Amino acid sequence: MSRLANLAPQHMSEAQRRIYDQVVPAATPLEKTTFGLFNPWLRNPGMAECFFKTAQVLRHETALPPRLTELVILATARRWRCEFAWHRHVSLALDGGLDSEIVAAIAANRRPVFAGTDEEPAYDFCLELNDNRAVSDATYARTLEQIGEQQVVELTAIIGYYVMVCMTLTAFQVPRPRGVAPPFTS
């Protein structure tokens, strides 16, 4: 159970309702009923609006293919053991072209076998940044060579944003949706 009660639209301030009305049309049916991440953030409508716009840019306005975006989102969600974020993004990853065996390996906390030349350096970059709070020169150079400078900047921003997402969901104990099996066994 979440530490915060879901805000009901009829009890929202005008500013909260304005953000809610922007977010809900972009939400999945599940998100419309749980409101997940934006429920905590709506406590500060300006912050929620900024974060919503940031999410839109990072997910839809980068030079990265959806497959790589979702790869690092899933890897970050797994590192944080964030079931809500995992559940939200696993179908997006598969729809974006990420191989189901890679998704299964990440869920099981195993190193995936990568077919694409850009997936492995992006994954290593993500894990080093999450686990070590730094990226080695070798990993940086390999990632830069495979995906390009702008994309490395975007990759870093996506990882950072989803660390914040996972922190928020974890701090307020936003649960995975009812009826959804736990995605992680260890």
All structural domains of the chain with their residue ranges = 9-60, 66-171
- What are the tens digits of pLDDT across the range 38-75? 889 999 999 999 998 999 899 899 999 999 999 999 99
For residues 154 and 126, give the distance between their C-alpha atoms in angstroms, rounded to a whole number. Answer: 12
Sign of CA dihedral 122, 126, 131, 132: positive
Mean pLDDT value of segment 138-157:
98
Owner of token pair 């999945």: 28
Question: Tell me, what's the pLDDT at 75?
Answer: 98
Question: Tell me, what's the pLDDT at 28?
Answer: 55
Q: Which CATH number, 1.20.1290.10, 2.40.50.140, 3.40.50.980, 3.40.50.300, labels domain 66-171?
A: 1.20.1290.10
For residues 58 and 40, the answer to whether their CB atoms sit within 8 Å is no
